[in-house]
């Protein structure tokens, strides 16, 4: 039995998790025989890169975003389409895909929170529920295999079902950004750094610390332990993701944002 101490920055964690999600047998089977539906989000963009084998402007592969110290939304003109694949090839009708999908297909959606019970939740700021509001009914009623890639930087100590009761786009008197509701995804299979190391290397990963400074903000520190061969695989995987660059900051001019009056032009507390 060997043991290692590893610190991963948020982008390194996202890359690790993306590699693990793609390696999952459920995903590999769906890529060959069915649908893989990847909803937009920065972590999901890493997964899209791993599947497509090409670079994506991950900063722009999202609609809602927490940026510059506030909950925010990216400009409508930059909103990307969800990536839907059928037998590994692009499928241009996301709604039709949702209609056809079943338990052997895969739906992938990132999250904003994972709690002490490994339950996950995502923000929704649009009145119609945004991505999760438009897809949740299809995926949960038909038992679509749903994966939530989520780094432990998004760990919260309060159960998400309790937190969700406190939120809603009309529930707040003031804030530091766009008002959002927290929506639990109870049928999802979360993939954190813990699951990623288990999937990719067959080692146990135990989170022991978090945070940092000087470019390590949001980091997670883990103890890895396992047999010799498995730990060698873990070492190579860790080397492969170390140095993953941070995403560029979102720098849209707030004065042209359609939500500027709601958000207070990003000027802090309002």
In-domain check, residue 265:
no
In-domain check, residue 186:
yes
47-51, 107-111, 169-173, 191-195: least confidently modelled range? 169-173
In-domain check, residue 269:
no
Going by their DSSP bridges, the two strands 145-149 and 106-108 should be labelled as parallel
Burial of 248 (0-12, 13-18, 19+ CB in 10 A): exposed
State the chain's mean pLDDT as an integer: 91
In-domain check, residue 239:
yes
The per-residue pLDDT for 258 is 56
The per-residue pLDDT for 257 is 59
Instruction: Tell me the Ramachandran region of residue 109: left when phi exceeds 0, alpha when psi lies from -120 to 50, beta otherwise.
Output: beta
pLDDT above 90: residue 187? yes
Residue 268 pLDDT class (50, 70, 90 cuts): very low
In-domain check, residue 266:
no
Q: What is the pLDDT of residues 203-261, one digit of tens each?
A: 999 999 999 999 899 999 999 999 999 999 999 999 999 999 998 766 555 655 555 55
pLDDT above 60: residue 43? yes
Mean pLDDT calculated for residue range 2-21: 98
Cα separation, 186 vs 96, in Å, equals 24
Q: What is the extent of the structural domain holding 59?
A: 2-260
In-domain check, residue 267:
no
From 119, 126, 108, 210, select the one nearest 163 (Cα to Cα).
119
In-domain check, residue 16:
yes
In-domain check, residue 198:
yes
The per-residue pLDDT for 158 is 97
Burial of 90 (0-12, 13-18, 19+ CB in 10 A): exposed
Structurally, how many domains does the chain consist of? 1
Mean pLDDT calculated for residue range 138-148: 97
Residue % of the chain over a pLDDT of 90? 77
Q: What pTM was estimated for this model as a whole?
A: 0.93
Mean pLDDT calculated for residue range 36-48: 95
């Amino acid at each position: 039995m060997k043991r290692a101490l590893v610190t991963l920055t948020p982008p390194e964690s996202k890359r690790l998790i993306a590699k693990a999600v793609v390696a999952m047998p459920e995903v590999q089977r769906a890529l060959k025989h069915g649908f893989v539906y990847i909803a937009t989000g920065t972590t999901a963009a890493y997964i899209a890169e791993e599947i497509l084998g090409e670079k994506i402007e991950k900063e722009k592969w999202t609609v809602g975003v927490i940026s510059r110290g506030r909950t925010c939304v990216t400009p409508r003109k930059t909103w990307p389409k969800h990536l839907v694949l059928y037998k590994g090839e692009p499928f241009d009708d996301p709604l039709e895909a949702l209609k056809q999908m079943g338990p052997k297909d895969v739906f992938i959606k990132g999250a904003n929170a994972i709690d002490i019970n490994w339950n996950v939740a995502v923000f929704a700021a649009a009145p119609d529920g945004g991505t999760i509001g438009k897809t949740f009914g299809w995926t949960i009623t038909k038992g679509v295999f749903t994966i939530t890639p989520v780094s432990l930087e998004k760990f919260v100590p309060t159960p998400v079902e309790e937190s969700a009761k406190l939120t809603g786009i009309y529930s707040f008197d003031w804030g530091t950004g766009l008002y959002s509701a927290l929506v639990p995804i109870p049928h999802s299979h979360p993939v954190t750094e813990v699951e990623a190391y288990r999937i990719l290397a067959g080692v146990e990963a135990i989170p022991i610390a978090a945070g940092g400074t000087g470019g390590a903000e949001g980091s997670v520190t883990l103890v890895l332990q396992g047999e010799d061969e498995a730990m060698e695989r873990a070492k190579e995987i860790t080397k492969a993701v170390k140095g993953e660059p941070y995403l560029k900051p979102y720098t849209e001019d707030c004065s042209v944002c359609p939500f500027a009056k709601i958000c207070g032009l990003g000027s802090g507390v309002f």
